[in-house]
Amino acid sequence: MKIALQSFTLLLCLLSFKLQAQAPTPQAWIRVNQLGYLPHSVKAAVWAGKKNEKIKHFTLHDATTNKVVYKGKRPQDYGAYAAFTQTYRLEFSSFQKPGTYYLQAGGTKSPVFKIEAEVYDGTADFVLHYMRQQRCGFNPFLKDSCHTKDGFMVFHPNPSLDSTYVNVKGGWHDASDYLQYVTTSANATFQLLFAYAQNPQAFKDNYLANGLEGTNGIPDILDEAKWGLDWLLKMYPEADLMFNQIADDRDHAGYRLPNHDKVDYGKGPGQERPVYVITGKPQGSFQHKNRSTGAASTAGKFSSAFSLGAQLLKQYYPAYAQGLRTKAQQAYAYGAARPGVAQTAPGKAPYFYEEDNWVDDMELAAVQLHQLTGETTYLQKAAEYGRQEPLTPWLGKDTARHYQWYPFINLGHYYLGASKDESIKQEFISNLKNGLEAVYSRGNGNAFLMGVPFIWCSNNLVAGLATQAILYRQLTGDTRYAQMEASLRDWLFGVNPWGTSMIIGLPFSNGDYPDNPHSSLALLHGYKLSGGLVDGPVYNSIFGNLKGLKLDAEDEFAPFQSDLVVYHDDHGDYSTNEPTMDGTASLSFLLSALQMEGSSTSSAVKKK
């Protein structure tokens, strides 16, 4: 009997294998926003095929009954793009009834998705999970502490103070390594504060200030922003002493947990790490040097984060907010006296954040001081700085160096575009529009409407541009860029060549998102990350030239890779599948704005 059962089982396996072998390989796919669509928003998907096929119409089906509820005619043919020989954009914006649906075109069926007002609810709070996982000092995810002995100063202009101890414990790890940069941390802090300032009702209180579960009467996003501010204050301890980063690429010593970090920076394994003093001159502890020319890029970021923090935290921490006010003014003065960029410092490898612009940082700092103090001189200085860079230089370009133009959105332009000074307002609204137009013109020839260059951390650029599009629309009511805005939003949730969300854990269920991020926590111990935005696709030419990059597994997205662009859900690909702290923080406004748009739609429906 046992032998007969084994023979039967073998026969079933052989039949199953034969059927699988005979199953046709898909030649076309429909890419949808897997999280879903708001009822009154632009709604579009992309049909992408490996062979030439004429799609003359498409249908939208109720997923519970399979009935056709909408017929779309003459979808726009965009031809070849990336790995596909034929692509079509399928728009169904006029259909607004809430429910669960799928699309069908040319014999190809899409994944099931929702149309409802609540699809973005809780997503802005969800990405804060990753911010808490990135905390240095006490890490609530691991319920343990790390890097508690940071650090010792390097490049101090006073040789007698060089290599001496300074307490800079705290902050966030930048990505899946454990370096810490003011440039990304101050921007992330501002992004969190900005999201709350714009959409306070989108955020809840489910965590304590230390990141553990509980309630403290303060929205979690403000707790997270204050964690960033606390560290920034340590990184700017005196009016004329400013630090730029902790550690360098000696950190890249293999996979390990942060609370078991034994990298030796000359003080012994796991001891103090170097804290780089801003000098305004090129830096690097080994043969590679950056191209620093000043301090304003970092000083401006310090100042704007302190200013907005002072405004929003006053009701919870009045004395603390007053201290932030003082620091904001000091940091602004420090930057104004030292124009130029303070780039991050390389170690033994040639990679660093090659930030080349700084007037945007001083523009935002000045306009925030105007908001904080009411002094009109700051408004005028903000406009003067802004006129030196009407467009963030990457907008409309096909390439840039790593973090060359950072932050990826100039929020100073938004604040000036909302100014009560009518001439300043119109000037900077025009700047916002011209930036959008530059990318729109570059991307309107492909079905994904993708005009963002596929440089390292392209998803951060996508999030920044989507933010600019929403803010411009909210300021002006102009919907010229609504299709591009929707395509940027949808790209992050699956309307891309690989059909995957770019945010770990979203959608919450029944979706495809990064399962194998480049992370020691995920690879070594199978810890489940949540909420992190991964770097995103890069040009194949970039991928092929990065050092130490090797895929750990067979490429599940092989059919969708191209000579143009690649993305891999693989532990080994630090160029496309590494989550970043600042990119994740930049989602907080985008997702909270979408949640509030859904909420307003829901409220309007209930009133009818």
Could you report the per-residue pLDDT of 462-472, keeping only the tens digit for each?
A: 999 999 999 99
**Which pLDDT score, from 0 to 100, does residue 193 have?**
98
Q: How far apart are CA 28 and CA 87, in angstroms?
A: 9
- Could you tell me which of 379, 296, 378 has the C-alpha nearest to residue 331? 296
**Which pLDDT score, from 0 to 100, does residue 383 have?**
98
Protein fold of 123-501+579-596: Glycosyltransferase (1.50.10)
Cα–Cα separations (whole angstroms), residue 526 to 147, 270, 508, 523: 22, 24, 19, 6
Question: Which tops the pLDDT comparison, 396 or 606?
Answer: 396
Does residue 18 surpass a pLDDT of 90?
no
Could you report the per-residue pLDDT of 94-112, keeping only the tens digit for each?
A: 999 999 999 999 999 999 9
**Which pLDDT score, from 0 to 100, does residue 1 have?**
37
How many CB atoms are closer than 10 A to CB 107?
9
**Which pLDDT score, from 0 to 100, does residue 488 have?**
98
- Could you tell me which of 590, 584, 574 has the C-alpha nearest to residue 456? 574
**Cα three-residue angle 261-221-243, rounded to 5 degrees:** 50
Task: State what percent of residues in the chain have pLDDT above 70.
Answer: 95
Q: Which amino acid is at 336?
A: A
| Residue keyed to tokens 């905390």 | 135
Between strands 57-62 and 99-105, the pairing is: antiparallel
Does residue 408 surpass a pLDDT of 90?
yes
Question: Which tops the pLDDT comparison, 602 or 274?
Answer: 274
Does residue 607 surpass a pLDDT of 80?
no
Q: Are residues 179 and 245 in contact, defined by beta-carbon separation less than 8 angstroms?
A: yes
Question: Which tops the pLDDT comparison, 336 or 601?
Answer: 336
Q: Are residues 31 and 500 in contact, defined by beta-carbon separation less than 8 angstroms?
A: no
One-character DSSP codes across 301-333:
HHHHHHHHHHHHHTTT-HHHHHHHHHHHHHHHH
CA trace torsion 379, 380, 381, 384 (10° rounding): 130
> What region, left, alpha or beta, does residue 189 occupy, with left being phi > 0 and alpha being psi -120 to 50 degrees?
alpha
Q: Does 2.60.40.10 match the CATH number of domain 28-115?
A: yes
Q: Which amino acid is at 314?
A: K
The overall pTM is greater than 0.85: yes
Does residue 11 surpass a pLDDT of 90?
no
Q: How far apart are CA 539 and CA 575, in angstroms?
A: 10
Could you report the per-residue pLDDT of 258-311, keeping only the tens digit for each?
A: 999 999 999 999 999 999 999 999 999 999 999 999 999 999 999 999 999 999
Cα–Cα separations (whole angstroms), residue 582 to 208, 422, 441, 586: 21, 33, 27, 6
First to last CA, the chain: 69
Q: What is the CA radius of gyration of the chain?
A: 25
Instruction: Report helix, strand or coil for 181.
Output: strand
Average pLDDT over residues 63-80: 96
Domain boundaries, given as residue ranges, for the chain: 28-115, 123-501+579-596
Question: What mean pLDDT, rounded, does the chain reach?
Answer: 94
**CA quadruple 190, 196, 202, 203: dihedral positive or negative?**
positive
Q: Which of 280-284, 510-514, 602-606 shows the lowest per-residue confidence on average (mean pLDDT)?
A: 602-606
Between strands 274-277 and 152-154, the pairing is: parallel
